Amino acid sequence: MNRLKHYKKLFTHSIIATGVLTLVGCAQPLSTEKQTSYSNVDNFKTNLYQSSLPYTSKHPDKTGFYPLGDGQAALLARLAIIEGAEKTLDVQYYIYRDDATSGLLTWYLYQAAERGVRVRLLLDDMQNRDDQALASLSAHPNVEVRLFNPFSNRTIKPLSFLTDFDRLNRRMHNKAIIADGVFAITGGRNIGDEYFSANSDVEFGDFDLIMLGKVIPQFSRQFDEYWNSKPATPIEALVSEAHEPTPEQLAQWKQAQLKYMSTDYARSLKHHPMVKQLMDETLPLFWTDAELLYDTPYKVANSKDDLLLHKLSEMIAKADHDFFLVSPYFVPTEEGAKELAKAAKSGKNITIVTNSLASNDVFAVHGWYAKYRKLMLEGGVKLYEVKVEPGQKTKHKWLSRSRTSLHAKTFILDKSKIFVGSFNFDPRSAYLNTELGVIVDSPEFSGQVYNQISNSLLKDAYRLSLDENGDIVWNDDTTGQQYTSEPDSGILLKMGAWVAGALPIEKQL
């Protein structure tokens, strides 16, 4: 998640002149008239359902899944299930960029609609998008687009914060795509080049699961709950008119996609090892018990009922000996840091992997996380911070993003259960944004992920420790080098993080 844009918008309301209030004081509530719809359609004759039978018939009460660890595989899996869909496609994301890979995925969705597939696209409204373009897509008879928790001022969104900050500060951070009620993909990725290894300036290290079997109806129910909720507003309610693309516009769009498919990145997709497995239906799946966990859409109305945080806290508390957390935006709060230190002192193996200051794309988050590092280290918590560029030294400019940045959100309990989803261990995920994730009960898979990450930490991360004076040091266990201040970070970046940590903004992070 690119939080930098979010925080810029978040604080805009505090610096805009008071006189601007007169421009938005008469804003009217947005129309929310819409038709309800549900996922329960006849999918038994679809190719996706039929192709899943050889797998699901052998594991009727289990969920099958396959990890999508690299960006190209993650994009390929999405394109594959969209291409295979014949009945329904339900798509739900926080960020959906207007870039090359996003355009390609949208083109696939449009082609699915042309085949008669019902496409429901639910997007959070924090990101600036072209409302008319979305309305044009939604004008297709088989496509519906809704924006979640929309801003009333469509021209200058930050102005809406002045009169409706508490509502608009709460966003839908869920990420899921469901095809024909048969396959689903969820995890940490949004839709954009940086999530699919197609951006030359930045790449988010992320993690998804493609799933089928028993857990899929839970995904569909979750989507329906959000789709039919009050905050989900049809794009038609936010624009003056909507028209389908003209034949000329469609021709230009198609030509743009054909041109993109000739790029080096697009050509490389065809040679990805996953392609043959998808074509031959030989993808090696794990089969186990799984459960979808999610906040209700009414968390944005300040509802504290049945928070995902509570469910995750209960699970973590039940860990017998090992808690392994990977979180890009880790702000444990003082209470959370003390609990982690207490657990480590009691003998539990507590390991935290997060971004370093250099690799974090939001220095304010790092500023508040840094306040609790010493407390956790003193308690015996193992802390690792991902390098900006594993194996290389990269100059990091103040406020710019790194070449690589951790974005995966997962944790492993006792090397037997693993959570994969959108939840960051910070106050925003806990109390403000809605979140989604799946807990998988698989010692085999959990152990594999645990070992893979643990083995990569030697090369890819700094190990933090305390020296004889009780000061934090960063250990590069590959080179043997030790740092006494934030590695790979300039003075301005360090100052920015320090100042952010002094501001009363922890609850917003």
Domain limits, the chain: 3-13+53-280, 307-508
The token pair that represents 146 in the structure block: 């809704």
Catalytic: which of 299, 409, 415, 417? 409
**In CATH terms, is domain 307-508 a member of 3.40.50.970?**
no
pLDDT at site 276: 83
Catalytic residue status for 414: yes
Please write the tens of the pLDDT for every residue from 91-136: 999 999 999 999 999 999 999 999 999 999 999 999 989 999 999 9
Question: Are the beta carbons of 153 and 24 closer than 8 angstroms?
Answer: yes
**Cα gap 157→281, rounded to integer Å:** 46
Question: Are the beta carbons of 251 and 150 closer than 8 angstroms?
Answer: no
pLDDT above 90 as % of the chain: 75
Question: Are the beta carbons of 8 and 365 closer than 8 angstroms?
Answer: no
Residue holding tokens 């085949």? 115
**Cα gap 357→493, rounded to integer Å:** 8
DSSP string over 125-140: SSS---HHHHHHHHTS
Catalytic residue status for 409: yes
DSSP string over 426-483: SHIIIIISB-EEEEEE-HHHHHHHHHHHHHHHHHHEEEEEE-TTS-EEEE-TTT--EE
**Cα gap 25→13, rounded to integer Å:** 14
**pLDDT tier at 403 (50, 70, 90 boundaries)?**
low
Instruction: Tally Cβ neighbours within 10 Å of residue 494.
Output: 19
The token pair that represents 366 in the structure block: 């790092």
Catalytic residue status for 173: yes
**Cα gap 50→210, rounded to integer Å:** 17
Please write the tens of the pLDDT for every residue from 186-233: 999 999 999 999 987 778 889 999 999 999 999 999 999 999 999 999
Q: Where are the beta strands (DSSP E) in 415-460?
A: 417-421, 436-441
Mean per-residue pLDDT, 461-475: 97
Catalytic: which of 175, 366, 415, 417? 175
User: pLDDT at residue 362 above 60?
Assistant: yes
Catalytic: which of 157, 173, 396, 417? 173
Question: Can you state the angle between helices 100-114 and 247-260, rounded to 10 degrees?
Answer: 130
Any residues with CB less than 8 A from the CB of 217 and at least 6 apart, and which?
Answer: 181
Catalytic residue status for 180: yes
Catalytic: which of 180, 206, 208, 488? 180
For residue 229, what are the CA distances in angstroms to 40, 88, 354? 17, 19, 34
Catalytic residue status for 321: no
Which of these ranges, 311-320, 387-396, 459-468, has the smallest mean pLDDT?
387-396
Query: For 287, phi and psi rounded to 5 degrees?
Result: -120, 125
User: pLDDT at residue 501 above 80?
Assistant: yes
Query: For 356, phi and psi rounded to 5 degrees?
Result: -75, 170
Catalytic: which of 99, 289, 322, 414? 414
Phi-psi region of 281 (alpha: psi -120 to 50; beta: other; left: phi over 0): left
pLDDT at site 243: 86
Domain 3-13+53-280: assigned CATH number = 3.30.870.10
Q: Do the domains 3-13+53-280 and 307-508 sit in the same CATH topology, yes or no?
A: yes
For strands 232-234 and 208-213, give the pairing.
Answer: unpaired
Catalytic: which of 299, 407, 415, 494? 407
Catalytic residue status for 140: no
Which of these ranges, 225-234, 278-287, 344-353, 471-480, has the smallest mean pLDDT?
278-287
